[in-house]
Chains A and B, each alone.
Chain A
Amino acid sequence: MKELFPLKQVMGFVFSLVLTAVALLVYFVDMSFALGMTILLVTAFVQAMLQLMVFMHARESEDSGLILSNVYYGVFIAVVTVFGSLLALIWGYM
């Protein structure tokens, strides 16, 4: 019975519900704009990764190493581009 029960998927589902609930807090609880945006961004990215890993089979094929390294590479470039641009165009003048 144990091997038939999709424990990983159920746990993933519960976790994604938790993430959604946390994100909803931003609306219902009074907090600063910066804190709210931080919570939304963090929960959104964790949620996206969770969906990719648990429900979209990114880790189940033979090429999972390649797929994941591509994803990480893309994330790295996006983060560097965004924060590097902010650094060069805005923060660098402060």
Chain B
Amino acid sequence: MEFFERFAIPHPSPIIYASMVAIGITLLAIVAGLTFFKKWGYLWREWLTTVDHKRIGIMYLISALLMLFRGGVDALMMRAQLATPDAQLLDSQHYNEIFTTHGVVMIIFMAMAFIIALMNFVVPLQIGARDVAFPRLNALSFWLYFMGAMLFNLSFVIGGSPSSGWTSYFPLAGNEFSPSVGTNYYMIAIQIAGIGTLITGINFIVTILKMRAPGMKLMKMPMFTWSALITNLIITFAFPVLTVALAMGTMDRLFGTQFFTTGNGGMDMLWANLFWVWGHPEVYILVLPAFGVYSEIISTFARRNLYGYKSMVASMVIISVLSFVVWVHHFFTMGQGAMVNSIFSITTMAIAVPTGIKIFNWLFTLYKGSIRFTVPMMYSLGFLPIFTIGGVTGVMLGMSAADYQYHNTMFLVAHFHLVIIPGVVFAMLAGLTYWWPKMFGFMLNERIGKWAFWFISIGTCVAFFPMFISGLDGQARRMYTYSESTGFGFWNMLSFAGAVMLAIGFIIIVYNIYYSTRYASRDIGSDPWDARSLEWATSTPVPEYNFAEVPQVNSSEAFWDSKYNGHKLFSGKLKEIHMPNNSGVPFIMSSLFFVLGFSFIFSIWIGVAIALLGIVACLVHRSFEQDHGYHIPVEEIEKTESELRGGK
């Protein structure tokens, strides 16, 4: 029995037992459902083994939405706990666990997955490619991310969740102050998901640089593809730092090394330093694709070409450089001198300039445009003011002298939520609504979508604006309760009301998906928004090979120009298409990573050894495997195409 004691929750409560039961029932229901409807084979053939970028994108999307709800429930519990002074809903340990998992889940398993979902689905289509450069690696990326996410979520019911914040600062995260396995989960689950993200980064850089349709010069790429290129460049150079930091943290916790300890030559702030060397570029990894989405949507629904294409690209390139030189602003109060703080204050202010350029470019795109107020456009228009408020409060925080006042208060929490929610969540919801018809062949209901938009945007303001005030009044972040005499009660109750509005907004989105799946028209053609870039040039649903014929591109808005300016995308001559085979290896290998991670977390070394052997066996298998893909003959392409175009 002693062996099993380590899996017990160190600090149990009825909520956790209820979740255990809920998780058990869900798993049983999934297994029973798949068996009853005889879908195991379908699941394996069509999804678990797929290397198709569109399906991988959809799997990322589903995972991201699941994680959004997991992180959202955490947020609701936090807000409910803080809504009234001296509340007893959660105790301090549970509150710590919940804000930690909320941060990790939202950033790493929701936002990252969401942007990669859209990149996966859209980028190859926008550049006229058949798939990404390394389709099987792409599947591996997804499954590593997925297993990392599942491993992290397991912490809630087995062994206990991490509780030292999503930043997991040492020495708090060290063995002395965090004795449970929670922080091991943090280190290892993020490591596994991070490997997947790094692979994605390399994969998409190669895809965008090498697989563009003929004629699509770099400066003729759609803006979303540009943002994806810059994002993946930042991913490729930022994630190794996280990998190293997590590996050092893991060794500190499991093998008694002293990298981040306070004695024996260790340096606890080295963790904070390395974390933010990754963490700040990560902010731009999240927000740049969102900027790309907005660029696409604003120019589509203002029916104008994007204002200042070159300055948009230039500002992203500048951001890719500057994002690596500002990280110290996350710990201005560490105690380093005024000189260091001044340097990083100046770089921090400098990065607001390219961001400002982008905001003005969008405004000029809107100027004199004939604007259509669709749901994606509403999110984009809502983004502009709310994000700007979040952004300028960031400049306030960036002044190091003033930061001593704001540091670690709810003011900071308000700032980054008002940047990330309009910057990332709005963009992802906008992108989801915008590309939904391309993904699933029907449109989401506009009227219900607008209800969701209003609930979410007003909810965001109501939830986070009060924190500016309570933060300036001195409410520290990450405190699980406060006394009535502080006077924070009113503002926190207001925040809670906003959080409830946000929750209602997301429920409306779920209802919208259900409603539209049932009732929306399937007869929408391939270009329902009258859009501008290549992903709309192929039929809906998109055939597995994307384009029957690789398009010839002559402008940055190839599809628009083919519709209205007489450019010719397709010559009409079909050729045989070479496609990659499906493979179960990425799934199996990632499952082994799951076993590896789990064994590491609980120091079960036999499990580590077995899983490692299995992973190496997968690598060896891949090295010696002869897999040349398959060819789709011209007749079959013709047949598919005529079916997709209405069976002529």
Contact = CB atoms under 8 A, between A and B. Distances in A.
The number of chain B residues touching the other chain, given as a range, is 20 to 34
A63 B209 contact: yes
A85 interface: yes
Contact of A66 (B209, B273, B325, B336): B209
A50 B158 CA distance: 53
A73 B237 CA distance: 9
Contact of B270 (A63, A89, A92): A89
B291 interface: no
B336 A92 contact: yes
Contacts of A91: 340
Nearest to A88: B328
B569 interface: no
B325 to A, nearest CB: 5
Nearest to A76: B321
A21 B88 CA distance: 72
A89 B324 contact: no
A48 B521 CA distance: 61
Contacts of B334: 88
B209 A87 contact: no
B340 A92 contact: yes
Contacts of B321: 73, 76
Which secondary structure dominates chain B's binding surface? helix
Contacts of A63: 209
A80 B325 contact: yes
Contacts of A94: 337
Given A63-B209, A89-B269, A89-B270, A84 B233 contact: no
A24 interface: no
B273 A88 contact: yes
Contact of A85 (B273, B337, B339): B273
Contacts, number: 47
Contact of B324 (A66, A70, A81, A88): A81
B324 A77 contact: yes
Interface residues of A, number: 18
B335 interface: yes
A92 B339 contact: yes
A77 B269 CA distance: 20
A70 to B, nearest CB: 8
Contact of A89 (B233, B267, B339, B344): B267
A81 to B, nearest CB: 5
Interface in B321-341: 321, 324-325, 327-328, 334-337, 339-340
A92 B337 contact: yes
Nearest to A94: B337
Contacts of B270: 85, 89
Given A81-B277, A84-B325, A92-B340, A73 B335 contact: no
A76, A88, A93 interface centre (most CB from chain B within 10 Å): A88
- 8 A-B pairs closest in CB distance: A92-B336, A92-B340, A88-B328, A92-B337, A77-B237, A77-B324, A85-B273, A81-B277
Interface of A: 63, 66, 70, 73-74, 76-77, 80-81, 84-85, 87-89, 91-94
Given A77-B324, A88-B273, A89-B336, 13 more contacts: A63-B209, A74-B237, A81-B241, A81-B277, A84-B277, A84-B327, A85-B273, A88-B328, A89-B269, A89-B270, A92-B337, A92-B340, A94-B337
9 contacts: A73-B233, A73-B237, A74-B237, A80-B324, A81-B324, A84-B325, A84-B327, A87-B340, A89-B269
